Structure 1
Amino acid sequence: MELPSSSSKYKAWSFEENKLFENCIAMEYVSSDEFDWWTPIANVFFRGTRTPDEIKNHYNQLVFDVNEIENGRFCIPKYKDDKVDNYNNGHDNFIYKKKKIRYTQWSKDEHRLFVIGAMIYGGGDWRSISRMVVKTRSPIQVASHAQKFYDRKKHPKNTKRASIHDITTVDHDTTLDLCQRNLIDLQTFQSYIAKLAEQDQATGEQGRH
């Protein structure tokens, strides 16, 4: 287990920040099996008010506290204040979620939906991609997947092993199949096909110059 690191510049977490952090755990936006959740969480949810390292240290402190509690080495005091009482609830929820959270590999269909969503909404609007296209994944999961996708696209020669990240576009027939299986709605299908047409037109114009 990674111990929380101490810092002379530590800034106490507010009640609102702790609730936001607990919500990230409750919604399964944090997984110890995944490479880097901290940067997307900092950008999408905390919007720069907390650094990735601060969030990671806060998570590690929570893991440490929970392990101490489970091993009988730490007792949570009983508070009357409702806000402080949420400290107890947060730890109880984390104990439950810690056992429940499991990272699952993205399917090819999910990745194709991600490619479609990124084309429509742009690489960065993880909320819209999650809400409108890849509905089986949270914004943080979409952001984390995007990190790997764009890194693979930028450095294609760094690995020889095949990956779903090698799928960088989705053709008309495959998109139609996704629509017929109700994985995307008609509006998303039409929007993506229009984007493909724009891309093909731009590529054709570049080829003529």
Structure 2
Amino acid sequence: MARKKLAERLNGPDGEALKASRASGVVVKNLNKRRAFPVPWTPEEHQLFLSGVDKYGKGEWRKVAAEFVTTRTVQQVRDHAKGHFKKLGEKASGPNHWQHRWKPDEHERFMEGLRVLGKSNWTAIAKNYVRTKSPQQVTSHAVKHFKKTGEPFCDPKPPKEPKLKAPRQNPAQEMAVGGEPTIRTKLKDTVAWHAESLMTLTDTTQQ
């Protein structure tokens, strides 16, 4: 059965229970499906939220949720902060949000390491030149840098040289050091001599 529109359900027999559930956030059975509605923030919770922001500042939502707004999760506190500061025309990010931005001197050291060590040596560049960044951060910075300049991220690999196989020699023609025939050649000559002798003996017997 298709679900009815919200207005019809509110005016139906379960309308009072539905209105109460929307106001309290309690899960109730609404005709065909159980639904949970978000509980609005109370003025007391908002005041506790503001007290936590005054003490710890922006971005410390885990501490605010643990010590002040204990009735909310960290994600709920974070979402509430975004909505609150959006109304004020501010950003909810903390002061540590910009600490991962690359400074001009760090980029200069990155370019110096790139000129000396070349591409794909991001770990060595981070260790010897940009010591304030991790190898992963240097790699990400290199990807963004080359994307802006339109250059390839890695140097092209040189083409592989084809492997040349040595010509296989006939074992019968192999000669030992000094021009002497090898043991294998001697054995073949011996077998051929015995075969020829056997054929000669057979012809003589038949005559």
TM above 0.5: no
| Structure with the higher helix share, 1 or 2 | 1
TM-score (ref. length: structure 1): 0.26
Larger Rg belongs to? 2
Q: Which one scores higher on RCO, CA 8 angstroms, separation ≥ 6?
A: 1
Q: TM-score, normalised by structure 2?
A: 0.26
